[in-house]
Structure 1
Amino acid sequence: MTTKSNKPIRRVLVLGGGIAGATAAERLGRAGLDVQWVEKEPVIGGHAVTMGCKAADVCLRCHVCVATDRLKAALRAPRVCLNTRSELVALAPGNNGSAYRATLRTAPNFLCRERCIGCGICVAVCPEHCISIKNPALYGGVPVLDLPLCRRTLGKSCNLCAKACPVKAIDWKEQEQTQELDVDAVIVATGHEPFNPGQMGTFGYGVIPNVISGLDAERQLADQHRITRLSDGSAPRRVAFIQCVGSRSEHAHRRPEDTNYCSTVCCSYALRIARRMQHDIPETAVTVFYMDIQNFGKDFQSFYAACQKTMTFVRARPVDITAGNESAVVIAYEEQEKGAVTTAEFDLVVLSIGIRPAPAARALADNLRLAVNEQGFLGIKGVAGLPQTHRENVFIAGTCGNPQDIAATIGQAEAVCAEILGQA
C-alpha cells in the first residue's frame, strides 16, 4: 500500500480537475490543508461535465448531478488554489521540511477570469469561432479560448477579441510561467480516455450518421435533454445498444492496442440512457446486444429486471454494421443458439464505449516513478482492490487507477482524503 510518512501533512498537490480531483481538493481544503489543484485544460470538470441527467420518473442514480455539485463546491472551497492550463513537470525531494518539491508549468490563459464580466462580446466577434462558454454551471458566462483554432496561434494577425473587450480582460502578452511548490503529499487523479470507436471500422462510427457512442448520447442529454438521430434530428423509435465496444476484446484478430478487461461502467450507463429514452417516448423499442451484463450496485437486480420487461436483450456480438434505407442502420449478428447470422434494422445505434488509460499516463508514471498495471492504469492493486503506490505520500484516486463510475470515483477520493487527514 502507499507508504506513509511520520511527518504531518499540511500541503497537498492534487493532479487532475475531474471528479476525483475536485472531491479531494474540496475535502482537504475545508479540513484546513493547503491545496494546489492542477488541471491541464482551461476548465475543470473532466468527462463528467459532458454527461446528462438520466432521471426518468425516478432518479436512476447516474450521479451526474452529484458530480456537478462536487465541482462547484471545490471552486468555493477555502485554501484551494486552482492552476488551470498547468502540468507537473518534475517532482523532486522536498525542502523546508516538505516531502516533495513540485515544479509546475502553466501555459498562458490570455483571458483573466477575475476581470471578465461574461458579456460574450468576444464570442460574437471571433472570426474563427474559437471562443466559447464552457461549463456555464461552473463558471457562469466566462468564455474559454480554444487556442489551436486561434489565428494568433496559427501565426496570423488578429486582435479583434482584445479590442472588443470592454474591460480589457484579454491579454495576448501573457507568458508561460513556471513555479516550484513545497508539498507533503500528492494525489494523482488525472482520469482516463474514452475509447475511440472509430478504430473499429466494422461498427461504422464516424461513417454511418446514426451510429453514435454512449458519450455522444450523454452529450445530447446534457445539451438538449433528449437523444435524436444525427441524420434528421428526429427521435428514434428503434434503438440498439452494443455493449463492450473497446472492452473485453478476446477475438482472434485482436490488435495489441485492444483492451481485454471490463470497463465496469458501460452497462449501467447504457441501461440508464435506454430507460430515459423509453420514459421520454414510451413506444421506443430498445435492443441490447451484450456479452454479459455487469452488476453495478445494490439495486442492480431490481433495475435489470425492470429493463428486461421493456427491452430485448440479445446475447451476441455484432459482426457488421451497415447503412440501410432511409438513414436506417443494419446490424448483422450471429444467433448463438441457431449458429446463423441474422440482420436487424434500427433508427439509431449507440456504441457503449469503454474506459482506457489516458495517453499521458505512461509519461506521468515515469515522471513520478509509479508502477503501471497490465492494463496501463496507474498503481498496483492494494487493499480491497484499490490502486496503491510504493512512494511515500503519493496516492491515486479515480479512473487513472482503474475503470469506475462517478460514485466509486468519489468514494475512492474520499478514502484517500481520510488517509491524508489521518496524518495531518
Structure 2
Amino acid sequence: MENKIEFLSKKDIGQFLKLADHAFPTEVPVEKTCRHIALSKNDRGIKHLGIRDKGKVVSHVGLYPLKMKLPGAVLGIAGIGAVATYEKYRGKGFMKLQLEYAEKLMNENGYDISWLAGERKRYGYFGWENAGRLMKYSITERTTKGIVTSGYTYRKYSDRIQDLKGIIKIHEKDGIGLKRTFLDYQLLFSRLHRETIIASVGSKPAAYITFMITRWSKENGTVLEFGGDLTALKALFRHVIEKYEFKEIIAAAPAFFNRYNELLASISGYRVLENYGMIKIINLRSMLEKFTGQMSIKVEGLNLKKTMVTFEIPELNQKATLEIGENVKVADKPAALKISLNRKDMVRFLFGLSKLSDEYNLSEKYAPLNVILPLDIYMWRLETV
C-alpha cells in the first residue's frame, strides 16, 4: 500500500464512521455522540484526511475550522480530532504523516493556533502543549441545600425551534467560547448522551444546563455548558441535582473572570484549576494581534510605564513585539527585552495556569507581563472536538 494522504468525501461517510467506532468504542456510535465533527453531507469546511489500503480507509485525521470570540477580534483555530487508525495498521507512522500534512494546511489557510484534546505525551511529540485554564466546581445536594426552585418551569430540551432560539439568545449574550452557526447549535444540542434542561419563566427560557451522566456512576454528572439569568441558573442547578438524584455534579467553566464566577463559588464545595486542552502556535504575530483587545482591557486604568517585549520562536523563525502601556498593541520594531522559547515552552509561557511570577523568575523589567498573561482562552466542553 502507498502512504498517500487523501481528502475523504461524502461517499466515504460509512467507512469513516466504522473506523471512528473502532477507535472510540462506546455504547452509542460516533455519528450520534459527535455529530458536530462527523463526516457528513454538510462538511462545514471540515477537512477529513485519510489513508487507504486497497480502497479501504484505514487511518484518519480531522481538521476542524473553529473561530473563537475575543474582544475586538476572532481567533482562527484549527481543531484536530477523530485521530483514528485500525489496530493492525498502527505503528506505521500514518498519524505522523497526516498531522504533518494538517499543519501544512494550517499554514496555508492562515490559522493562528491549533487545538486538540489528547494525551500530552502522544501529541507533545508533534508540538502541542497543555494550555488554557479550566475551573471545575464540585456541586452537591448539600452545597445547594435550601436553594428555592419555585417560580420556574423545567423541561428537557427538544428540537422545538423556540427552545433552540432561547438557548442561542442566552449563549450569544455571554460571548464565551466559539462562534457558532445555527447548524452548529442544532448539531451540538442533538448529541446523544447529553441532556439539556431549561428553566423558563412562562414560555421564555431563562437559563439552561447541558450535562452528561458519567458512564461509571449514575450518581455523578459533568456539566458541559450553561448560561442564563443567575437566579434562574442557581435554581436550575438545584433542580438537576434533585431530579437526577446526583451525589455530585462537576461544572466545567472558564477560570478567568466572568459573570458566573461568584455564583459557582457560592454553590460549590471545592474547585480545581486545570488545563483544558492542548495548543500549538501556528502564527505567533497574528495570534498576539488577536489578543491585543483582551490584553488592553487588563491594563486599562493601571497607568503602566511603556514597555516593549519581543517574543521569539526560533524553530519557526517567528517573532512578534508587544508594546504595553495605556493599551497593548503589536509593534513592528524589535525590543531590547526578549522572550525566546521553543514552540511548546512558548505555549506554556503565554497560556499557563497562573501569573508568570508564580512559575518564572523574571526581572522587574518584565513586570507588565504579569498583568497581561496568561492569555485567556476557553472552549465549552460541549464544543470540543
- Fold shared by both chains (TM-score > 0.5): no
Bigger strand fraction: 2
Q: Considering only CA atoms, is the larger Rg found in Structure 1 or Structure 2?
A: 1
Q: What is the TM-score normalised by the length of structure 1?
A: 0.27
Q: Which has the higher contact order (CA 8 A, sep 6+)?
A: 1
